[in-house]
Amino acid sequence: MVNRFENKVVVITGGSTGIGLATARLFAREGAKVLIMARNEAAMRSARESIYGDVEAISGDISKLRDLEALAAYLKRKYGRIDVLFANAGGGVLGPMDAVTEADFDKTVATNFKGTYFTVQALLPLMGVGTSVVINTSVAGSKGLPNFSVYSATKAAIRSLARTWTTDLKGRGIRVNAIAPGHIDTDIMVRNGIPADQVAGINNEVTKQIPLGRMGSAEEVANAVAFLASDEASYITGIELTVDGGWTQV
Ligand SMILES: NC(=O)c1ccc[n+]([C@@H]2O[C@H](COP(=O)([O-])OP(=O)(O)OC[C@H]3O[C@@H](n4cnc5c(N)ncnc54)[C@H](OP(=O)(O)O)[C@@H]3O)[C@@H](O)[C@H]2O)c1
């Protein structure tokens, strides 16, 4: 077995389900000390129990600066540093443009844009030469998908952060990249308000547009995150790596 992350301190926001959970499993399997953060404590407990390796969970909401400050203080006390940050937590209210409310807008922006921004800012004092930050964007950030207006705009915004931060952090040896998943088999749609009975139809329609002819798995995204986080990607910074079965290329 490869142990690319032996004793590395890896922080994964939204590590309790879906892509974050698959990524936490991969890092833990490869020897990392993994910390996951999300809001739902029951989901985090079951995630922790399902991961083989060194993993701990802290509950918190990335849209609340005090939760991020508490996370940073805990990590500083325990490790004094972090080696990998996967800023993965995200979601948002989906729906047609004329139905988006101010509350929907604020919630989506607070999670994806503000939350990602301040996650990275809060943990920056713990980063040093060799730290890798991976931001979870989405192909939605560069496609005109119906019902995704606010979500997509927040993802385009955080893709932009990966560019800007490479120069903000110039000379500090910290790499920042984005990962852009395509249509990945997780519960994200149901968890963000799409009725369960519509999900199969949406999956069917989207899959028709994907050259590889299927949805991706959370593990396939995790593999790409681990690559960006690893020393194999030591000269890669500022990019967005798309994991979408070719969807955005056709
Ligand atoms: N699945 C896809 O097709 C797809 C495609 C492109 C991009 N993505 C992105 O991939 C990331 C993970 O999505 P997923 O598909 O794995 O969906 P998911 O299963 O719904 O995972 C979302 C994770 O983020 C956490 N989270 C959400 N809001 C949070 C907040 N305010 N503070 C802390 N944690 C929060 C959730 O836990 P709690 O709710 O308990 O907090 C959960 O652990 C998201 O950023 C999503 O936008 C997914």
The candidate with the shortest Cα–Cα distance to 235, out of 227, 243, 223, is 227
DSSP state of 84: E
Residue of 23, 39, 64, 158 with the most ligand 1 atoms within 8 Å of its CB, for mutation: 39
> Residue 1 to residues 6, 26, 108, 225: CA-CA distances in angstroms?
12, 12, 39, 18
Nearest atom in ligand 1 to the alpha carbon of residue 92 is 47
Verify whether ligand 1 is closer than 6 Å to residue 111 (CB atom): yes
Torsion sign (Cα): 139, 137, 217, 226: positive
Look at ligand 1, atom 25, and give the residue with the nearest C-alpha.
14
**Distance (Å) from CA 164 to ligand 1 centroid:** 23
**Distance (Å) from CA 221 to ligand 1 centroid:** 13
Residue of 45, 85, 161, 188 with the most ligand 1 atoms within 8 Å of its CB, for mutation: 188
User: How many whole angstroms separate alpha carbon 33 and alpha carbon 56?
Assistant: 8
Look at ligand 1, atom 43, and give the residue with the nearest C-alpha.
14
Residue 73 region, left (φ>0) first, then alpha (ψ -120 to 50), else beta? Answer: alpha
**Distance (Å) from CA 171 to ligand 1 centroid:** 31
**DSSP 3-state assignment of 134?**
strand
User: How many whole angstroms separate alpha carbon 73 and alpha carbon 80?
Assistant: 9
Residues of the chain falling short of pLDDT 50? none
User: How many whole angstroms separate alpha carbon 89 and alpha carbon 103?
Assistant: 19
DSSP state of 114: I
pLDDT (tens digit, 9 = 90+) per residue, 127-177? 999 999 999 999 999 999 999 999 999 999 999 999 999 999 999 999 999
Nearest atom in ligand 1 to the alpha carbon of residue 63 is 31
CA torsion 108-112-113-117 (nearest 10°) is 150
* Residue 24 pLDDT: 98
* Residue 1 pLDDT: 60
Structure token digits, residue 245: 């079965």
* Residue 192 pLDDT: 86
Verify whether ligand 1 is closer than 6 Å to residue 40 (CB atom): yes
Nearest atom in ligand 1 to the alpha carbon of residue 20 is 16
* Residue 84 pLDDT: 99
Domain assignments of the chain as residue spans, ordered by start = 9-241
Verify whether ligand 1 is closer than 6 Å to residue 23 (CB atom): no
Superfamily of domain 9-241: NAD(P)-binding Rossmann-like Domain (3.40.50.720)
**DSSP 3-state assignment of 183?**
coil
* Residue 88 pLDDT: 99
Active-site positions? 151
Residue of 13, 17, 68 with the most ligand 1 atoms within 8 Å of its CB, for mutation: 17
The candidate with the shortest Cα–Cα distance to 200, out of 217, 221, 212, 183, is 183
Structure token digits, residue 121: 């800012």
Verify whether ligand 1 is closer than 6 Å to residue 187 (CB atom): yes
Look at ligand 1, atom 42, and give the residue with the nearest C-alpha.
14
User: How many whole angstroms separate alpha carbon 46 and alpha carbon 42?
Assistant: 6
